[in-house]
Structure formats: structure tokens, C-alpha cells
Amino acid sequence: MSHEERSTHVTAESPTVALLGTGTMGLPMGRNVLGAGLPLRVWNRTAEKAGPLEEAGATLAADPAEAVRGADLIVTMLDAVDAVRETIAAAAPALTDGQVWIQASTVGVGDTEGLGDLAEELGVAFVDAPVLGTLKPAEDGTLVVLASGPDAALDRAQPVFDAIGSRTMRVGRAGGGTRLKLVANSWVLAVTTATAEAFALADGLDVDPRAFLEAVSGGPLDLPYLRLKGQAMLEDAYATSFSVRNALKDARLVGDAADRSGVPVGIAGVAAEHLGRALDRGHGDDDLAAVYKGVARD
């Protein structure tokens, strides 16, 4: 069943969704929740960013408590764990037993455990459900949802997963989704950083990076993501799908997770160094491909 076909299956029992965070990912996710016919309330620290969802039929709340009051499902899609904690603390007076909190923000392993403990204190069911995919899949409703938590809570959350994604993977107890997301992000960081380093080395050796792409074309070393990010580097055009700032945050989360598990990975640390330089050079809000700006010669 296609995403469009699924969007037409609406019943009077459709759960009410409260979406907290309407940034790069939250906004298109909210559009798809509305497209699936689910009643939606939205809140964002900068209210103007939630305006397009209000125009599309969502109810704009003045604060997190107003958004979550009486909602069946609460989704947090924020940029860092501190923002998640602050937002849920603001929502806490309106939370009630029986609500399901879908935590879709990418945070660390220990932070996810802490948020699970907080959910228990607040009396709401906790679902750890980060997503794979950036802006375009979020717009198309084709994210991959990495859902973990109690089966009953996952079942209740499924209408949101169906609205925002093309596939849901259930990966065990809460925290499993975050662990898998960090593994996947370690690969994303590795490929993009390796591409940036190869292009920078080509420049340093007076080699046209297009020759590198031609050399690997069609073979086992070629892959679509190399082409996608490499083209952005060639064109010096970094329309944001996943920002340098957020990629740096995630690189540090991957490094922290590796340290916790005793795995001697090093690529995340290298990626963080390059991303940090790109940030310092004014590319924090550019796409991850701008990691090249942290490697290339001035």
C-alpha cells in the first residue's frame, strides 16, 4: 500500500497527536500526520515556524502543556536532549496516564534511558523512535522509523509511524531505536567524511575530483550517497537536509556511545573535528556535505 493510499484510511477513532518541535524534520512530519487525517496540535519555541501547519489545519498551541492536554500521542522532534527535557517539563502539568510519548529526536544512549525514566515518573508510556532519512524522505513520508518500547505502546503509536514513514522497524525495548540510529549515523558520517577527505586530497595532489568519481563509477566502490554528497561538494552548494550543526552533535553522540560500549571507533571523532572546523568557518546551518569546508585548504 502506497503512502498516498494509506493517507486515505481515516476513522472517527483516529488518535489526536501533539507534535512538539516543527523544525527541519518536524514540519514535514506534521504535514504528513495531517495528510493521514490525524487531528494535530503543534507547538514550537518559535511559533512562526509552526505557522504552515496551522494553515494546513493543525491547532497551534501557545505552550507545550496546551499542546499535549488531552492528546493521545505526543511526539517530540527537537534538536537536542536539553530541549526535549525542557519541553516535556513544560508539558508535564497537562500529562495524564494513558498517553504515549513518541521520542523521535536523536539523543544519546544514556539520555534515552534518562528520558525513559522521566516518562515513568510522569506516568506516560515511552516509545523511543528516531527516524532514518533527512528532509526529502520526511517530506515524502518515506522515513524509516526505528521504534522501540512496549508492544502495546508501539501498537498505539503505529498511526503516526504509518503517516511519516514507509517502513517501521520494531527493535525491542526502549533504547533499541536510538542504538540502531547511532550505528546508522556512524555510517553516514563515515561516508560523507571520507568523500570530503578524498576530494580535499585530490585538490592537494592537483587531481580533479571528478576523475575520482569516474574511476569508481559503476564498480563496487561506487554508491549513490557518494554521488549525492560529492556533487554538492563539486558545486559548492549545500542546501540543507541534515545540517553541519546537527551532524556534529550526532558525531559526538556516536563517539560517546562507542566509549560506553568499549568499541575503539575513530571515524566519528575525525568527523567531529572536520565538522567543528566547518562550523567555525560559518557553515553550521549548511548541509552535512559542507564537512568538506572543514577539510579543504583555505
CB of 91 closer than 8 Å to CB of 68: yes
- Kindly state the average pLDDT of the residues 31-55: 97
CATH number of 3-173: 3.40.50.720
Q: What percent of the chain has pLDDT over 90?
A: 94
Please classify residue 37 by burial: count the beta carbons closer than 10 Å to its beta carbon, then call 0-12 exposed, 13-18 middle and 19+ buried: middle
Helices 109-122 and 176-204: crossing angle, nearest 10°?
Answer: 150
Query: What local confidence, expressed as pLDDT, does residue 7 receive?
Result: 45
Tens of pLDDT, residue by residue over 61-80, are 999 999 999 999 999 999 99
- The answer to whether residue 298 scores a pLDDT higher than 80 is no
Q: In what order do the strands lie in the sheet with 125-128?
A: 59-60, 40-43, 17-20, 73-76, 100-103, 125-128
- Kindly state the average pLDDT of the residues 95-105: 97
**The CATH classification of domain 179-294, taken from the options 1.10.3720.10, 3.30.70.20, 1.20.1250.20, 1.10.1040.10:** 1.10.1040.10
Q: DSSP letters along 23-60, please?
A: STTHHHHHHHHHHTT--EEEE-SSGGGGHHHHHTTPEE
Query: What local confidence, expressed as pLDDT, does residue 256 receive?
Result: 95
Query: What local confidence, expressed as pLDDT, does residue 1 receive?
Result: 38
Which helix (H) or strand (E) is 143 found in, with range?
A: strand 143-147
Tens of pLDDT, residue by residue over 253-290, are 999 999 999 998 899 999 999 999 999 999 999 999 99
> Is residue 20 helix, strand or coil?
strand
CA distances for 219 relative to 87, 202, 224, 289, angstroms: 48, 20, 12, 22
Q: State the Cα–Cα distance between residues 51 and 70, nearest whole angstrom.
A: 22
Domain boundaries defined on the chain = 3-173, 179-294
- The answer to whether residue 291 scores a pLDDT higher than 80 is yes
Tens of pLDDT, residue by residue over 77-90, are 999 999 999 999 99
Q: State the Cα–Cα distance between residues 272 and 252, nearest whole angstrom.
A: 7
Q: State the Cα–Cα distance between residues 94 and 65, nearest whole angstrom.
A: 5
CB of 188 closer than 8 Å to CB of 253: no
Residue with cell 559548492: 236
Q: Each residue of 21-30: b (16+ CB within 10 Å) or e?
A: bbbbbbbbbb
Q: Where does the pLDDT of residue 40 fall: very low under 50, low under 70, confident under 90, or very high at 90 and above?
A: very high
Tens of pLDDT, residue by residue over 110-140, are 999 999 999 999 999 999 999 999 999 999 9
Q: DSSP letters along 70-132, please?
A: T-SEEEE--SSHHHHHHHHHHHGGG--TT-EEEE-S---HHHHHHHHHHHHHHT-EEEE--EE
Query: What local confidence, expressed as pLDDT, does residue 265 receive?
Result: 86
How many CA atoms does the CB half-sphere of 212 hold within 13 Å?
Answer: 21
- Kindly state the average pLDDT of the residues 4-25: 75
